[in-house]
Each structure stands twice: as structure tokens, then as C-alpha cells.
């Protein structure tokens, strides 16, 4: 191999180990070359597009190129691509870009990027990134912009390129993500609708992969299993099914077809606490592209209580006569007890009526006052004596009945209140019309429950 090719290869391999770059002097000293020889080979490699350089002060730093030949890029790129030179002028455009931008080549060719009639290309930040790409710094970023009256979601790739002449440039490769994002948004919206629908269901809903692992579980099943959806995803559906039920499930799923769904299946399952339950599951296939079943949609519910009820019903049928006789005896006893309670209640009501009658028709006035001085209860004799109706008596106080009692006197009487303490005295009462008359009074305190009442039995002198 000629020495010049060996030196060029050595320089290229050296720069691969120093991606940040080396100066001509550093390369020459490392490879023990003359500085002019190293500069000659570096310029040759730069023109071939294998290395690139940048100016730092007075030094030229060379580093491995990250550029793509324009011809190769246009040959293999199937997306819209616009090629710029170092002056950021459009020099090449592929057919996909013309179709995407909706304009002929004459509108783009030779124009500066900032002069193109599209908001995407006139943004200062975008132009700055294009300049960086020409200098060798690739970039890719999302951008929303209107094209042809439609707002599109784009992903822009800025790729440093090299022309056949060895000059630098950059390629603007446009990836239209609008259909994918629209489809993803539609998918997420339907997924949210489905999740909301499944969330409100009281029945269990599972999605099962062909390998019988769970890929989705609604909240109802999570509550039933005592695990979160994250814990359930990836776990085996058949792990808690009794052995004989696993064979039945596989047989049912094997018979599934889009037009012939299998009927529901009752399975014996094992709870985490070791108890046995009965569950009823209905399976339907999830059909993917080409009509193939890519998974299963399973709806289940707990029928353990139903099974127990069926067993109990059978037991009831076997013992119906004994049960009826037992219940009949219980009802008869309950009726006898009810009759005794009714009779006791009627007796109590008669006693209460008689007591009320005796209270109302007593020859003396009977007034019951609470601690506030309000009349709690009064008999008819008191109403007749004071000239009030029974309803009006409920609106007056001890101060209206006995004008000689002041509030301080009333509080003093209550401070010495003791149940059963009696006092006989003379006092005055005042009628509704204002007439004051003398009465002989028997006073006592009576306690009923947790309340104390002042009882005044008066007789007109």
C-alpha cells in the first residue's frame, strides 16, 4: 500500500479516537509526520467528506466528520428533504418535498431559507439550527406549523451533509407525524372511553393474551383479587383456576371464532386465602389485522353465593315439610307474644287515660313548671280557675300566675330543690283578666327521668 494511503488511514483512525478534534500540529507530532504532509492529507480527507474542521483562534481543529453525502441521502431518504448549501440556499429538493410543500421547484431553488414562503423556515431559531447543522452539528426536534392551510405536527431532522465537490451543507428532512399523532390521540381517546366504561362496571373485565397472561384488568376485578392492575398485568389467568377448569378454558378458547363466540363457563377458583369460589366467565376473541385472534376479552362475576343458594334451595326442597312446620310454630308463638304485648299495651293505655282523667278533673288546680318557669302541664281546674284556655296556659309563666314571685325568688326556690320536698303556704294567683285572689298552695318538687319539675297544687280560699 502506498505510504500516502497509510498516512491518510492513520490520520483517520487517530481522529476516531479523538472525537473532539486535534490540530495539525498535534496530528503531525503524534504520527511523526511533517506538518505540511499532515495538512495535505487532512485537506484530502476533508474534500472526501471523511473529516471536518473548525476554527478556534488561529488553529484549525480537525475531527471525524458526521456528514452524509448528499447523493446517498437523496437516494435512500423516502421523506421530504431540502438540501441547503453553506449560504443556507436551497440547492436540491426531492420529489417528496415538492409534493409535501405543494409548490414547483422554481419557488424553492436558489432561494435563501429565510425567504421561503413558509412559517417553518422563517423562524430565527430554526435558521440558527440550520447554520449549526452546516457546521456539523446535527439536530432533530418537533415543530407545529401550518402547511397548505393545515396545522401539522412535524419532526424536523437537520443532517450535516457534504456535496460531491467537498463543500459542506445540511439537509432538512421533514417527518410528518400528524397522521400518527391523530391516530394516537384517537386511540387514547377510545382507550379512555373504554377504561371509563370498564371502571363503572360491577362485573370483572379482563384482557387476556394468547399465552393466557393478563394485559388489562378493571377496578372491579382488582378489588376482587386484592391486587392492583400493575400487579395483575403479566400474571397468569389460569394460575388460580382449579386443574379441571384449566382444561375447560383452553378447550373453550380453542373453539372461539369471530362469528361463533363460546358460551359462558363456570369455573372453580382458589382465593389467595385458600378458600374456593365459583366464577362465571364469558370469553370473546379480540380480532386483529387479517381476522386473526390476538387476545381475549373476558367478562366474569362471582357466582359463589348463587351456588350456595342453589345448594341451600335443594336442601330446602328436601326438608320443606319440616321447615314449614317449624316456621308455622314460630309464627304461632310470635302471634301469641304479640297478643300479650297488645293486651299489656291496652292496659297501660287505660291506666294512662284514667290518670289523665283524674289529673284533669281534680278539685284543686295543678300546675307543673320547669326550671325556666314555663308551664309544662296544667289540669282543667287550673285553666278554669285562672280563666285561660289549655292552649293559652302553655304560653304563660310562673310570673304571670303568681305576681309575688320574682326571678331571684324563683331561682332561690330551685336552689333548694329536692324531689319529694313539700311545703304548704298561702299565696296569691292572678287571673287572665288581672283579678288577684288568695290561694292555699301545696308545693313540691317532682323528678321524672333526668328533669326536675315544680308542682303547685292550689285551692282558692
pLDDT digits (tens, 9 = 90+) for 21-31: 788 888 888 88
- Same domain? For 82 and 162 the reply is yes
- Same domain? For 189 and 170 the reply is no
**Residue 347 within any structural domain of the chain:** no
Of 48, 64, 80, which closes a domain? 64
Q: Kindly tell me if the per-residue pLDDT of 357 is higher than 70.
A: yes
DSSP 415: H
**Residue 260 within any structural domain of the chain:** yes
- Same domain? For 44 and 82 the reply is no
Question: Quick one: which H or E segment has residue 73?
Answer: helix 70-76
**Residue 343 within any structural domain of the chain:** no
Q: Is residue 53 a contact partner of residue 60, using CB atoms and an 8 Å limit?
A: yes
pLDDT in the model for residue 262? 61
State whether residue 150 is helix, strand or coil.
Answer: strand
pLDDT digits (tens, 9 = 90+) for 404-450: 888 888 888 888 777 877 888 888 888 888 888 888 888 888 888 78
pLDDT in the model for residue 259? 65
Q: Kindly tell me if the per-residue pLDDT of 194 is higher than 70.
A: no
pLDDT in the model for residue 260? 64
pLDDT in the model for residue 323? 76
**Residue 263 within any structural domain of the chain:** yes
**Residue 326 within any structural domain of the chain:** no
- Same domain? For 167 and 249 the reply is no
- Same domain? For 300 and 266 the reply is yes
**Residue 419 within any structural domain of the chain:** yes
- Same domain? For 168 and 196 the reply is no
- Same domain? For 214 and 171 the reply is no
pLDDT digits (tens, 9 = 90+) for 80-106: 999 999 899 999 999 998 888 888 888
DSSP 192: H
> Residue 378: phi, psi to the nearest 5?
-145, 145
- Same domain? For 112 and 165 the reply is yes
Q: Please tell me the number of Cα atoms within 13 Å of 159 on its side-chain side.
A: 21
Q: 16: which 3 cell numbers?
A: 476516531
pLDDT digits (tens, 9 = 90+) for 165-174: 778 889 999 9
- Same domain? For 203 and 155 the reply is no
CA distance 216 to 118: 45
pLDDT digits (tens, 9 = 90+) for 196-249: 666 667 788 888 888 888 888 888 888 888 888 888 888 888 877 887 788 888
pLDDT digits (tens, 9 = 90+) for 311-344: 888 887 888 878 788 888 888 888 888 888 888 8
Q: How many domains does the chain have?
A: 4
- Same domain? For 156 and 226 the reply is no
pLDDT in the model for residue 83? 92
**Residue 318 within any structural domain of the chain:** no
> Residue 168: phi, psi to the nearest 5?
-85, 160
pLDDT digits (tens, 9 = 90+) for 46-85: 777 677 777 777 788 877 767 788 888 888 889 999 999 9
Of 128, 153, 176, which closes a domain? 176
- Same domain? For 136 and 154 the reply is yes
pLDDT in the model for residue 446? 83
Mean pLDDT on 372-380: 87
pLDDT digits (tens, 9 = 90+) for 28-47: 888 888 888 888 888 888 77
Residues in the chain: 461
DSSP string, 194-254: HHHHHHT-SSEEEEE-TTSBEEEE-HHHHHHHTS-HHHHTTSBGGGGB-HHHHHHHHHHHH
Question: Residue 220 is part of a domain; what is its CATH number?
Answer: 3.30.450.20
Q: Kindly tell me if the per-residue pLDDT of 271 is higher than 80.
A: no
pLDDT in the model for residue 301? 83
pLDDT in the model for residue 313? 82
Domain range for 288:
184-308
**Residue 21 within any structural domain of the chain:** yes
Of 142, 158, 176, which closes a domain? 176
Question: Residue 43 is part of a domain; what is its CATH number?
Answer: 1.10.10.10
- Same domain? For 164 and 271 the reply is no
Chain mean pLDDT for the chain:
83
Confidence of residue 400 (pLDDT cuts 50, 70, 90): confident
State whether residue 63 is helix, strand or coil.
Answer: strand
Task: Give bridge partners of residue 450 from the DSSP assignment.
Answer: none
Nearest alpha-carbon partner for 158 in 178, 125, 134, 124: 134
DSSP 167: -
CA distance 107 to 125: 23
pLDDT digits (tens, 9 = 90+) for 137-157: 888 999 888 887 888 899 999
Amino acid at each position: 500500500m502506498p505510504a500516502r494511503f497509510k498516512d491518510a488511514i492513520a490520520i483517520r483512525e487517530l481522529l476516531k479516537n479523538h472525537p473532539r478534534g486535534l490540530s495539525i500540529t498535534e496530528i503531525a507530532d503524534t504520527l511523526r509526520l511533517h506538518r505540511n504532509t499532515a495538512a495535505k492529507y487532512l485537506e484530502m480527507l476533508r474534500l472526501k467528506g471523511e473529516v471536518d474542521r473548525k476554527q478556534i483562534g488561529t488553529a484549525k481543529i480537525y475531527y471525524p466528520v458526521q456528514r452524509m453525502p448528499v447523493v446517498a441521502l437523496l437516494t435512500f431518504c423516502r421523506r421530504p428533504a431540502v438540501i441547503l448549501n453553506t449560504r443556507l440556499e436551497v440547492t436540491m429538493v426531492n420529489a417528496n418535498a415538492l409534493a409535501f410543500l405543494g409548490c414547483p421547484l422554481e419557488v424553492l431553488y436558489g432561494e435563501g431559507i429565510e425567504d421561503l414562503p413558509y412559517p417553518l423556515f422563517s423562524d430565527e431559531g430554526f435558521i440558527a439550527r440550520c447554520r449549526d447543522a452546516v457546521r456539523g452539528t446535527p439536530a432533530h426536534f418537533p415543530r407545529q406549523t401550518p402547511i397548505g392551510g393545515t396545522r401539522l405536527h412535524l419532526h424536523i431532522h437537520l443532517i450535516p451533509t457534504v456535496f460531491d465537490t467537498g463543500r459542506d451543507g445540511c439537509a432538512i428532512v421533514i417527518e410528518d407525524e400528524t397522521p400518527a399523532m391523530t391516530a394516537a390521540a384517537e386511540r387514547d381517546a377510545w382507550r379512555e372511553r373504554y377504561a371509563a366504561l370498564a371502571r363503572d362496571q360491577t362485573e370483572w373485565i379482563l384482557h387476556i393474551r394468547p399465552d393466557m397472561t393478563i394485559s388489562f384488568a378493571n377496578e372491579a376485578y382488582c378489588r376482587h383479587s386484592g391486587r392492583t392492575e400493575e400487579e395483575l398485568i403479566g400474571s397468569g389467568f389460569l394460575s388460580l383456576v382449579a386443574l379441571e377448569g384449566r382444561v375447560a378454558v383452553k378447550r373453550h378458547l380453542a373453539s372461539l371464532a369471530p362469528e361463533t363466540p363460546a358460551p359462558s363457563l363456570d369455573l372453580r377458583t382458589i382465593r389467595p386465602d385458600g378458600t374456593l369460589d365459583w366464577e362465571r366467565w364469558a370469553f370473546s376473541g379480540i380480532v386483529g389485522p387479517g381476522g386473526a385472534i390476538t387476545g381475549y376479552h373476558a367478562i366474569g362475576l362471582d357466582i359463589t353465593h348463587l351456588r350456595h343458594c342453589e345448594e341451600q334451595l335443594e336442601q330446602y326442597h328436601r326438608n320443606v315439610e319440616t321447615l314449614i312446620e317449624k316456621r308455622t310454630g314460630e309464627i304461632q308463638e310470635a302471634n301469641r307474644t304479640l297478643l300479650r304485648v297488645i293486651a299489656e299495651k291496652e292496659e297501660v293505655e287505660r291506666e294512662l287515660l284514667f290518670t289523665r282523667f283524674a289529673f284533669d278533673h281534680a278539685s284543686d288546680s295543678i300546675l307543673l313548671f320547669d326550671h325556666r318557669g314555663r308551664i309544662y302541664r296544667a289540669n282543667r281546674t287550673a285553666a278554669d280557675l285562672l280563666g285561660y284556655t289549655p292552649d293559652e296556659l302553655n304560653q304563660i309563666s310562673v310570673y304571670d300566675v303568681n305576681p309575688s314571685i320574682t326571678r331571684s325568688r324563683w331561682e332561690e326556690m330551685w336552689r333548694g330543690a329536692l324531689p319529694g320536698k313539700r311545703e304548704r303556704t298561702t299565696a296569691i294567683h292572678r287571673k287572665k283578666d288581672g283579678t288577684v285572689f288568695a290561694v292555699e298552695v301545696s308545693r313540691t318538687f317532682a323528678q321524672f327521668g333526668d328533669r326536675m319539675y315544680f308542682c303547685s297544687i292550689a285551692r282558692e280560699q
